[in-house]
Amino acid sequence: MKVEGRNAVYELLKTDKEIDKVLVRKDLKDDASKRLINVIKSNKVKIQLVDKYVIDKESSSDRNQGFIAYVSDYKYFELEDILKDCENKDGFIVILSEIYDPHNLGSIIRVCECAGVDGLIIGKDRCASITDTVMRISEGALNHLKVCKVTNINTTIEKIQQEGFWVYGAELGGESIYKANLKGKICIVIGGEDTGVKRLTKTKCDGIVSIPMQGKVNSLNASVACGIVVFEVLRQRNF
């Protein structure tokens, strides 16, 4: 798996993940690049200096900023790993149902990490998987957020509820997120833009919460909707 860009590589270096090597464009002279090169060296990671055309050929985007790190494929966490982190506190979990766009998944990972979410759960067959693109869009947030892949979302919701979580689906027609009590152990279910939260999944939830909207379009991009909801949870917890 490739990790591209200064910020993403820098965040990767903060973890205990084994890095095979980092490609670095040999003509970089700016201070930010020099600082990152020094950090890479201090972590005793192999650096390979290459020409611009080499790194551009290896890159999946035009935003590599002269840095590409190579690591093993993403290793998903188990549900138990996430639940264990939530044992002695008000845990915060997000479940994704039918989010197929890797750009949306990457953005959601970034949003969730920034909001202090303890773990993200995705469906094995009904969600995008972790790829180079997802890693790049997350801007390094994936290195700090546990992601679990499960076979059955509905069964997983039941397990989470047994651990004391209140599970809310984010969907039209529910209680306003600004009036709902989102404190305590909370799990938010985010559905796809086209399908929303599936009917059976909604019946498993303890309630449905909605984002009040005043425009003529009644739906938001999944990552935007997720950001609004998770930061409302954060606001209620801290203010």
* CATH number for the domain formed by residue range(s) 79-238: 3.40.1280.10
Mean pLDDT per block of 10 residues along the chain (239 residues) reads 91 89 94 95 95 91 89 92 95 94 95 97 89 88 94 96 97 94 97 85 96 84 95 93
Residues of the chain with CATH 3.30.1330.30: 2-71
pLDDT for 207 equals: 96
pLDDT for 192 equals: 83
Q: Which CATH number fits domain 2-71: 3.90.550.10, 3.40.50.300, 3.40.50.720, 3.30.1330.30?
A: 3.30.1330.30
Give the Cα separation of 98 and 196 in Å (integer): 8
Calculate the CA dihedral of residues 24, 28, 34, 36 and round it to 10 degrees.
-40
Give the Cα separation of 56 and 237 in Å (integer): 44
Residues of the chain with CATH 3.40.1280.10: 79-238
Partner residues linked to 93 by β-bridges: 119, 187
Q: Are 146 and 76 in contact (CB under 8 A)?
A: no
Output the pTM of the full model. Answer: 0.85
Tell me which amino acid residue 87 is. Answer: E
CA 153 to chain centre: 17
* Residue 38: how many other CB atoms lie within 10 Å: 10
DSSP helix/strand/coil, 39: helix
Give the Cα separation of 182 and 196 in Å (integer): 20
b/e per residue 9-30 (b: at least 16 CB within 10 A): bbbbbeeeeebeebbbbeebee
Q: Are 76 and 148 in contact (CB under 8 A)?
A: yes
pLDDT for 95 equals: 97
Tell me which amino acid residue 112 is. Answer: C
